[in-house]
């Protein structure tokens, strides 16, 4: 019986070219294995494709793209025995980096061929699933701005961040977790299943995808002069030691804001409700790892 594998490729994610991916797949998999390659055409396609092929009996689903593509494919596979694989070709590749999946497509394919997989947690923010991070505040705002830009890539993300920093005004949030309610004027609030946004920027260095908890990072406003130090801490994995950041752990959080805002889930922006329910689902997704 053939092993059924479906490769779902987002042709526009990130800046890396994907023309050679079909050839790499053909070279990696033998005739004894059955696979199919499908290209997405619009947002949401990857989820529908994954659902369709799961119903056809496919068991292994490989997301070829960035965190948005991974989110779409994984969202169709949660709480099933299907296995997610990742060939990271996006702008940030946060989940792939956290899982130590090679950024080189050929090496990522080799990892998938080895067949090692594990169960990981995933999160929900209202009706949206996330696998890496979700949140409100400045990072969500930047995700919204970034999604409107013609060019992708890390350099454009940095440009958007710098241009928007001076204009952004923190909002007041009511945050309930672990039997306690706190009020915060927050620059951003991140709920992390994995440790980083992407590009090795670690917003929650202690986050663990297998502990049944979300790491909550609440950052208050900071002077512009300290921004380089804040940025350095993200990449040095010690942002949680900043005087501008407080951290918590919880499996269920409720956030209230006086007016609708923008959220991001794995970097994808969307308008939020005034009340957000954020929770973790333990061991809900199978994923290929080293």
Q: Mean pLDDT, 10 residues at a time, over the chain (290 residues)?
A: 81 74 88 83 96 94 96 98 96 94 96 96 95 94 76 69 83 96 97 95 97 98 93 96 98 93 90 92 97
% residues pLDDT > 90 (the chain): 74
What local confidence, expressed as pLDDT, does residue 120 receive? Answer: 98
> Which CATH superfamily is 3-116 part of?
Probable inorganic polyphosphate/atp-NAD kinase; domain 1 (3.40.50.10330)
Closest residue by Cα to residue 135 from 189, 208, 181, 185: 189
What local confidence, expressed as pLDDT, does residue 17 receive? Answer: 66
The top-level CATH class assigned to 128-283 is: mainly beta
Every domain of the chain with CATH number 2.60.200.40 lies at 128-283
User: Global pTM?
Assistant: 0.92
Tell me the per-residue pLDDT of 145-175, one tens digit each, with 9 for 90 and over: 777 766 666 677 777 777 788 888 899 999 9
What local confidence, expressed as pLDDT, does residue 152 receive? Answer: 61
What local confidence, expressed as pLDDT, does residue 189 receive? Answer: 97
Every domain of the chain with CATH number 3.40.50.10330 lies at 3-116
What local confidence, expressed as pLDDT, does residue 49 receive? Answer: 97
What local confidence, expressed as pLDDT, does residue 1 receive? Answer: 40
Is there a contact between 260 and 271 (Cβ–Cβ < 8 Å)?
yes
What local confidence, expressed as pLDDT, does residue 34 receive? Answer: 79
What local confidence, expressed as pLDDT, does residue 153 receive? Answer: 62
Tell me the per-residue pLDDT of 93-107, one tens digit each, with 9 for 90 and over: 999 999 999 999 999
Token couple for 219: 């950052």
């Amino acid at each position: 019986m053939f092993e059924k594998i479906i490769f779902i490729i987002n042709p526009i994610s990130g800046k890396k070219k994907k023309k050679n991916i079909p050839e790499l797949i053909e070279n990696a998999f033998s005739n004894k294995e059955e696979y199919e390659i499908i290209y997405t055409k619009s947002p949401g396609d990857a989820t529908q494709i994954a659902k369709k092929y799961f119903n056809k009996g496919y068991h292994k689903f490989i997301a070829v793209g960035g965190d948005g593509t991974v989110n779409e494919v994984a969202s169709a596979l949660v709480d099933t025995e299907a296995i997610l694989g990742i060939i990271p070709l996006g702008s940030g590749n946060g989940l792939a980096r956290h899982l130590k999946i090679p950024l080189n497509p050929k090496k990522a394919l080799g990892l998938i061929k080895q067949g090692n997989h594990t169960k990981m947690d995933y999160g929900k923010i209202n009706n949206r699933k996330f696998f890496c991070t979700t949140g409100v505040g400045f990072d969500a705002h930047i995700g919204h701005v970034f999604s409107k830009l013609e060019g992708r890539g890390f350099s454009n993300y940095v440009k958007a961040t710098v241009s928007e920093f001076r204009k952004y005004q923190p909002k007041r949030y009511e945050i309930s977790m672990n039997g306690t309610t706190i009020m915060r004027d927050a620059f951003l609030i991140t709920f992390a299943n994995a440790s980083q946004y992407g590009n090795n920027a670690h917003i929650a260095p202690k986050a663990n995808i297998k502990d049944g908890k979300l790491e909550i990072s609440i950052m208050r406003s900071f002077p512009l002069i300290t921004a380089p130090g804040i940025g350095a801490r993200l990449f040095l994995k010690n942002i949680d030691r900043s005087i501008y950041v407080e951290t918590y752990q919880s499996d269920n959080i409720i956030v209230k804001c006086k007016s609708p805002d923008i959220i991001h889930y794995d970097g994808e922006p969307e308008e939020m409700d005034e009340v957000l329910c954020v929770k973790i689902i333990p061991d809900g997704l199978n994923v290929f790892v080293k």
